[in-house]
Structure 1
Amino acid sequence: MSLPLIMIATASVAFTLGGLTMWPFIRRLRNHLTDAIWQLEHDPVTGLLNRAGLIAAHAALAEADNAGPIIVVLIDLDDFKPVNDTHGHDRGDDLLVAVGDRIHDIAALHGGTAGRLSGDEYAALLPVRTHDLARVADTFVALIAQPVELTADGEPVTVTVTASVGLALAEATDPFEEVALRRADIAMYHAKHHGRNRHAVYEPGMAMPAADSRRGPRLRDHRELNDEAMA
């Protein structure tokens, strides 16, 4: 074999061996990047979409060729704080996961997706398969109110929470936070204002209830105020 051919063969073998050596590193790097992207759009406690993930999901709906109206659901747990105070934050997280699983299942049943905005507040985006929004809302309210079995200090504990649920119809192309989520937020506060453990559907002209009927700022409220201050 001539010297040039030997050099070419040697270089080819070296390249192949180098590629085999680098492949595990490349695979690990790809896995790390995939995990990082997942974490950017998902809630670390429940595994549901987070705020950014919901915004991205809404953007995908708006960009679809067959973009049409959607149902936006805002779910706020009633009196969640006593669970943390009584059983600790770990059990509180367990409850958030259990409730999140139920919300996810209902959203998936209707062909939609669900996420956790912050704290004990969830949201869902559903395609309009029915105009009976009350029936959809009742499903969320009823299933969330089912007892949840937890373990605290090695002992079984049964915890029950309820939810105030607001629903709103919006076009997929409507701004998510300024229009779609805002309408569902107003409806949710009407549900909470009228006794909790119930739902309300947004109607044109519906306004936010008086401040004294609402609880203090949520994590999402604080974030929005900070965003406005930085603008």
Structure 2
Amino acid sequence: MFTTLAVIATIAVALAFGAWARHMIAETRRLSAALTDAAWQLAHDPLTGLLNRAGLSAAHTHLATTPQPIIVILIDLDGFKAVNDTHGHDTGDDLLVEIADRIEELADLHGGVAARLAGDEYAVLLPAHGHEPARTAEGFVAGIAAPTRLFVDGDLTVINVTASIGVALVDSTDGFTDTALHRADIAMYHAKQQRGTHRIYRPEMRMPRNTERYGLRRRDQRPADNDGQPGAEAAQ
């Protein structure tokens, strides 16, 4: 009798332990997936799937582990507000996603990474690797300017946008915001003077004193959408 009870007890304990172990494995997997998802969201833009500013900063830190020149490209769509006004904000978001896909494809082609910083502004970091900055920028200008076909109210519609692009060649040891982005930002301001073009940063270039590019832009001063990003309708 005692032996039988002991066997039953052992089996019961084994079954309970097995159930507990399976539960712990499932819970561990769930927590791991949740952590992975949370980490992804911290570093990525929810609309386009590109890196966000924090993710781009992390990518810059990774590039900086190897001393090398880096090409910084800052991209601002021209006349994006008109797309929202004409076709609606859903179409505006679709356009942002399509342009993001093109930028990411070009960045991958050059061995770099792409990000959406805010609204209709994107950025790319590329290891120089002998790439000629001006020719690289021309590729981005042309890729973005290619006609985009989107469904608007059920009808296939062709939408054309261009981009003003600022480019800076920096060292991997240069600061991310105060040097890398800042220089590309100055160059992009000069490109905006003739939209649909690019400009390469030169030391003599200056940002006008009344242009607060690292404060909140007008498009970023409205409440964020549910995804935590400035709404497409706020982009200029």
Q: Same fold (TM over 0.5)?
A: yes
Structure 1: which 5+ residue stretches go unaligned?
A: 224-231
State the partner residue of 1:25. Answer: 27
How far the C-alpha of 1:217 sits from its partner, in A, is 5.4
Asked if 1:140 is matched to 2:126, the reply is: no
How far the C-alpha of 1:131 sits from its partner, in A, is 4.9
Q: How does 1:181-196 map to 2 (within 5 A)?
A: 181-193=181-193, 195-196=194-195
Structure 2: which 5+ residue stretches go unaligned?
A: 223-236
Residue 101 and residue 168 in structure 1: after superposition, are their counterparts in 2 closer, same or farther (change >3 A)?
same
State the partner residue of 1:205. Answer: 204
Of residues 45, 65, 75 in structure 1, which corresponds to 2:47?
45
How far the C-alpha of 1:209 sits from its partner, in A, is 4.1
The answer on whether the counterparts of 1:42 and 1:50 sit within 8 Å (CA) in structure 2 is: yes
How far the C-alpha of 1:23 sits from its partner, in A, is 2.7
Residue 151 and residue 39 in structure 1: after superposition, are their counterparts in 2 closer, same or farther (change >3 A)?
same
SS at match of 1:16: helix
SS at match of 1:122: strand
How far the C-alpha of 1:208 sits from its partner, in A, is 1.2
Q: How does 1:148-167 map to 2 (within 5 A)?
A: 148-167=148-167
- Number of equivalences: 218
How far the C-alpha of 1:145 sits from its partner, in A, is 0.3
Residue 59 and residue 221 in structure 1: after superposition, are their counterparts in 2 closer, same or farther (change >3 A)?
farther
- 2: CA distance, partners of 1:54 / 1:46: 14
How far the C-alpha of 1:11 sits from its partner, in A, is 3.3
Q: Which has the higher contact order (CA 8 A, sep 6+)?
A: 2
SS at match of 2:62: helix
How far the C-alpha of 1:222 sits from its partner, in A, is 6.0
TM-score, length basis structure 1: 0.86
Q: How does 1:103-114 map to 2 (within 5 A)?
A: 103-114=103-114
The answer on whether the counterparts of 2:75 and 2:123 sit within 8 Å (CA) in structure 1 is: yes
**Percent identity at matched positions?**
57
Deviations 1:10-56 (A, max 9, x none): 43442222111333333222212211111111101111001111011
TM-score, length basis structure 2: 0.84
Deviations 1:83-125 (A, max 9, x none): 0011111100000001011100111100000000000000000
State the partner residue of 1:91. Answer: 91
SS at match of 1:197: coil
State the partner residue of 1:173. Answer: 173
Deviations 1:157-207 (A, max 9, x none): 1100000000001111211011100000000011112x1100000112321
How far the C-alpha of 1:132 sits from its partner, in A, is 1.9
The answer on whether the counterparts of 1:103 and 1:140 sit within 8 Å (CA) in structure 2 is: yes
State the partner residue of 2:123. Answer: 123
- 2: CA distance, partners of 1:32 / 1:53: 18
SS at match of 2:73: strand
Q: CA RMSD in A?
A: 2.4
**Letter of the 1:155 counterpart:** D
The answer on whether the counterparts of 2:119 and 2:220 sit within 8 Å (CA) in structure 1 is: no
SS at match of 1:166: strand
